[in-house]
Amino acid sequence: MMTDFTQKLDDIEIKYNRLEFELANNTSLLSDVKAYAAAIKEYNSLAVLVEKYRSYKKAVTDAENALSLLEETEDAELKEMASDELRASKENAEILKNEIALLLIPRDPNDDKNIIVEIRAGAGGEEAALFAAVLFRMYSMYAANMGFKISVMSENMTELGGYKEIVFTVEGEGAYSRFKFESGVHRVQRVPETESQGRIQTSTATVAVLPEVEDVEIEIKDSDIVFESCKSSGAGGQHINKTESAVRLTHKPTGIVIECQEERSQFKNKDKALKMLRAKLYDIKQREQSDKIASDRKNQVGTGDRSEKIRTYNYPQSRVTDHRIGLTVYSLNSFIDGNIGSMIDALIADDTAKKLNSENN
């Protein structure tokens, strides 16, 4: 009897074969640039899965043939060969089945997108602002290690070099997939530079990671937007040449206000502000949709709940703890120098395991 597993994969293989035929023979598709690009993208997304499924089917067939030979032959040498082949084919089939199961998990459609990151100082005054600067430096170094490009959109610096707020973009394939679990409240425990008594203080900063979205995904009416020129909100005059063309955008339906000041061109600042607005509106839309998801959603990694304390950076003990997965690393200096990849890998692995478990239940 055909299982649900193979039925689903047979349907995917049929779809893959149909796409392959259409791409090779459908002249009307070839003349439609957008439709052709969409078909190519879908075809490529199915290719790895179909290849593994074909390998899985071959492994199953090899195991069945080896079992038949084992049962039919009386030759000792052939029996040994058949037994070895049966064992190897079964192991191979099981490995391929597990790999296929992972590939069948619905992929986050935002994973390949560029992102907009907002870091804001939380509780703790100047120390919180200094911690926000530590987080920005950490993410900048990690992004550089990954080959991503960072561009600051706006910043509000303090006199001591901290950030009340900093907003920046990260561009590169897979940026969202690597940063999306950073959304939330980050807590630091350390002796502040401003503390003369040597007492440990707990401060916080919030991080929001938003996927950059296209115009077609979020419609914004010109009549709903008010653009104004504004001055820099920075702490000094180091950006004076850039911020003369700063803009403030107000979205009337939601009351969202965005300032962008990092480009010399007002046009470029307006374009960046619109990108930020689209990302925020898309985030609101996603949150509204996610409220309708199963009640156990809040227990999953990556809910993006920014009221949730997700990580603690403890300087006296040189440790970083992620509270969602209970993982602690005892190399804080290396971590804040941008070596956060292993933590992100652990978060992705935990999220994948939860999704896989959900698919199987």
Task: Write out pLDDT tens, residues 290-313.
Answer: 564 433 333 333 333 445 689 999
Q: How far is CA 262 from the centre of its chain?
A: 25
Q: Which of 2-16, 199-213, 220-234, 312-326 has the highest mean pLDDT?
A: 312-326
Query: What is the reported pLDDT for 252?
Result: 83
Confidence of residue 91 (pLDDT cuts 50, 70, 90): very high
Q: How far is CA 109 from CA 26, 45, 211, 240, in A?
A: 27, 12, 10, 39
328 CB contacts (<8 Å, ≥6 apart)?
319, 320, 321, 322
With contact defined as beta carbons under 8 Å apart, do 116 and 167 qualify? yes
Q: What is the DSSP string of 137-163?
A: HHHHHHHHHHT-EEEEEEEEE-TTS-E
CATH architecture of 115-291+304-353: 2-Layer Sandwich (3.30)
Instruction: Pick the closest to residue 129 from 237, 196, 209, 203 (CA basis).
Output: 203
Q: Give the sign of the dihedral formed by CA 351, CA 354, CA 360, CA 361.
A: negative
Scan for tokens 């899985």, then name that residue. 56
Query: What mean pLDDT do residues 243-252 have?
Result: 76
Map residue 115 onto helix, strand or coil. Answer: strand
Could you read off the pLDDT of 223-235 as tens digits, one per residue? 888 888 766 555 4
Cα–Cα distance for residue pair 313/244, rounded to 1 Å:
37
Ramachandran category for residue 149: left, alpha or beta (phi over 0 → left; psi -120 to 50 → alpha)? beta
Q: What is the pTM of this model?
A: 0.67
Query: What mean pLDDT do residues 127-141 have?
Result: 96
Q: Which of 200-214, 250-264, 275-289 has the highest mean pLDDT?
A: 200-214
Cα dihedral value 63, 64, 67, 68, nearest 10 = -150
Instruction: Pick the closest to residue 194 from 158, 166, 156, 167 (CA basis).
Output: 158
Average pLDDT of the chain is: 83
Confidence of residue 41 (pLDDT cuts 50, 70, 90): confident
Q: How far is CA 151 from CA 3, 229, 248, 256, 343, in A?
A: 50, 21, 18, 22, 24
Q: Which of 42-46, 213-217, 267-271, 327-331 has the lowest mean pLDDT?
A: 213-217
Phi/psi of residue 312, nearest 5 degrees: -120, 135
16 CB contacts (<8 Å, ≥6 apart)?
43, 46, 47, 50
Query: What mean pLDDT do residues 18-40 have?
Result: 86
Confidence of residue 280 (pLDDT cuts 50, 70, 90): confident
Q: How far is CA 320 from the centre of its chain?
A: 21
Cα–Cα distance for residue pair 166/133, rounded to 1 Å:
8
Q: Is the pLDDT of residue 200 over 50?
A: yes
Cα–Cα distance for residue pair 187/200, rounded to 1 Å:
13
Structure tokens at 118: 């907002």
Residues belonging to the chain: 361
Q: Which of 42-51, 149-158, 233-242, 250-259 has the lowest mean pLDDT?
A: 233-242
Scan for tokens 């602002």, then name that residue. 129
Q: Which of 58-72, 98-112, 113-127 has the lowest mean pLDDT?
A: 98-112
Cα–Cα distance for residue pair 208/139, rounded to 1 Å:
13
Q: Is the pLDDT of residue 75 over 70?
A: yes
Q: How far is CA 177 from the centre of its chain?
A: 2
